[in-house]
Amino acid sequence: MIIGGSASQNLAAKVANLLHDQLCPIETRKFPDGERYIRIKGEIPDEVVVIQSTGYPQDENFMELFLIIKSLKDIGADKVKAVIPYLGYSRQDKRFKPGEAVSVKIIAELLEAAGADEVFSINLHEHNIIKFFNIPAYELSAIPLLAEHLSSRVDDPIIIAPDKGALDHAKTMAGIIGCEYDYMEKVRISAEKVETHLKNFNVEGRSAIIVDDIISTGGTIVNASRILHSQGAMNIKVVCVHPVLVDDALLRIFSTGVEEVIATDTIKSEVSVVSVAPLIAEALKKN
């Protein structure tokens, strides 16, 4: 049986459909004071899969997920698999300054305390985050799905990673599409500001595809797009797994001349055109 939290109901329905599994009805709402309410309706089998992404509003989505997992255990589920397509708090995976919370480690501990038996997530900000879980935890990659979506829509493009962290994604994507790839060097100045080093790319008159795991404020992509345009790129597409898209991020990106932004539905957005449902369904079949 599959249950979709309020952030991932469509995705849960798609996964249930692919697995020919039942979608459990659930009521989720907010009390007038802002607290969350959940009610699981229906008979609970031994094993249940909960799908809930944890983008904005992160705290509410996590709280709802904890309430669902714990309630499932209380009312009779033996095993609960938590599928968290976008794992919020992942970018605070270290104590960068003394006294800071290692937020994603605490999230991992809270999921286990709530009763999750297994966790699945997609393109974690750092692979090492998986080590914070003491229960089986699996990281899936949506990059092949994005590459397959693009492969029939582009002609001899060059794939560009807008920072070194995205280099593996660019390499994987280029391998699937069968084209060149390169990367940029980026320095993060603050949560809102990044600087990207200038470098010459072989983009004159060509299509360029910028690939990243997350678009948050859009600053990383804005810098990358400006550099590629200034070097004569003919058209630029942007692909990402998690469209966090803070405020007017999309507008800022399009205003640099980007032709198209393509993302997955790990987070619902107007550019979430590639579904990760087949990826999740396959992983659930195997584990």
Residues of this chain that interact with ligand R5P (CB under 6 A) are 163, 165-166, 194, 212-220
Q: Least distance from C-beta 146 to ligand R5P, angstroms?
A: 14
Q: Least distance from C-beta 156 to ligand R5P, angstroms?
A: 25
Q: Which residue has the tokens 């709402």?
A: 29
- Can you give the length of the chain in residues? 287
CA 86 to CA 243: how far, in whole Å?
A: 9
Q: Least distance from C-beta 248 to ligand R5P, angstroms?
A: 12
In which region does residue 195 sit, left (phi positive, over 0), alpha (psi from -120 to 50) or beta (all else)? beta
Closest to ligand R5P by CB, 222 or 283: 222
Q: Least distance from C-beta 194 to ligand R5P, angstroms?
A: 5
Closest to ligand R5P by CB, 64 or 213: 213
Closest to ligand R5P by CB, 58 or 217: 217
Distances (CA, A) of 210 to 34, 41, 220, 228, 250: 39, 43, 10, 9, 14
Q: Least distance from C-beta 162 to ligand R5P, angstroms?
A: 6
Closest to ligand R5P by CB, 229 or 252: 252
CA 107 to CA 187: how far, in whole Å?
A: 27
CA 123 to CA 263: how far, in whole Å?
A: 13
Cα–chain-centroid distance for residue 207?
A: 25
Closest to ligand R5P by CB, 40 or 107: 107
199 phi and psi, to 5 degrees?
Answer: -160, 150
Q: Which of 73, 81, 105, 186 is catalytic?
A: 186
Closest to ligand R5P by CB, 108 or 221: 221
In the residue annotation, 105 being an active-site residue is answered as no
DSSP state, residue 39: E
H or E segment at 229? helix 219-230
Q: Least distance from C-beta 245 to ligand R5P, angstroms?
A: 8
Q: Give all strands (DSSP E) within the chain, no chain letters.
A: 2-4, 26-30, 36-40, 47-51, 79-84, 118-122, 137-140, 158-161, 180-183, 186-188, 194-196, 207-215, 235-243, 260-264, 272-274
CB-based contact 192:243 (threshold 8 Å): no
Task: List the catalytic residues.
Answer: 186
